Structure 1
Amino acid sequence: EWFVYPALDQVKNDLKEVYKYTDEEVDKLFATGGLKIYTTMDRKMQDSTQAALDNRDNLQIDIYANPETLDENGTPALQASAVITDYRTGQVKALVGGRGQQPARSTNRAYDALRSIGSTTKPITVYGPAIDTKTITAATAIDDALLPASIQSKYPGWNPANWNHVSDGLITSREAIALSKNIPTII
């Protein structure tokens, strides 16, 4: 279970830090019982998140150009992960480390893999503050064009582009978010 192993790792680290237990002592406690471990997992949310990731239709990939392929264990080669937190408390409610059935202790992409958060940060770090300060609205027109020469000359060698290398001209900030455009976040 994707959620369980990270929770056990945290409990193990806490027991070692607080009570100075060794790895062997903690492993023995886990094996023989005596511990009641409570987590913040929401079972319904965990199951629905897993189902959503397992459904290839949700991945917005052309299934005809990119048919599902499986590795030697029958695990889908195309992977995804998700972590859902309660923004009020910071508690992790669901944690899914991959798609499809996978062997126990296989790579948990939500917990083990260090990856850039990439474009997921744009709504939080760019658009959110701009909307909050009333600089833009969801309907504000933004020019999705090549960087102006003034910016290009100020930062030589820096040539950011959209993920698909297409500029769409004037678009709304709503469209820029939906299409994960990079240029509008700079201008």
Structure 2
Amino acid sequence: NIEVALKAYSRGLRPVGAYALEGESFDDALLHLGISSTGDEVYMPHYEEIKSRADEGEYPLVLFPIELINLASGWIGNPPFLNKTLFDHQLREDDLFVEINPDTASKYGLKEGSKAILRSPKGELAVRIHLFDGAMPDVIFIPLGLGHTAYDRYLTGKGVNPNEIIDHIEDPISGQPVWWNTRVKVVKI
């Protein structure tokens, strides 16, 4: 029975005829990975809360990077003709807009078009505000794909790069980076 064997291993006992494995105990390995589930749940698909390294009191909002269909979000810059398809509430001149719920914005004295600073433990970005009823409260949505410092005159200096303030947290189950749990605060300029 696998459960009996695992319980024995977790207590440091080795069943007769079992191989002795060196290294961390099973419980220590789970703790090291940040997995708090126990029993059968450990082996089944389940949810493990992803903990931010930032203090929620100091950084009360969550930054959620989004990919837009008309913005190249990889290392390749956006072609100039695609910049023409961006709306004024996404990019106006060189200013990048972030989307925020109107109720959340009012808590911070922000209005449509307000200039603001987005601050995380990793840094800060100057942005403008777009009020969007579809935005989840206490979450700020920021487009990926701008903020380049090179390429050509059509792209250099347009918007800001969210990667500068994103905290790359590791998912405890898959080990993949989690970009959508960066804690931020917004300050009106």
Higher strand share: 2
Higher helix share: 1
| Structure with bigger RCO (C-alpha 8 Å, 6+ apart) | 2
| Fold similarity call, TM over 0.5 | no
TM-score under structure 1 length normalisation: 0.22
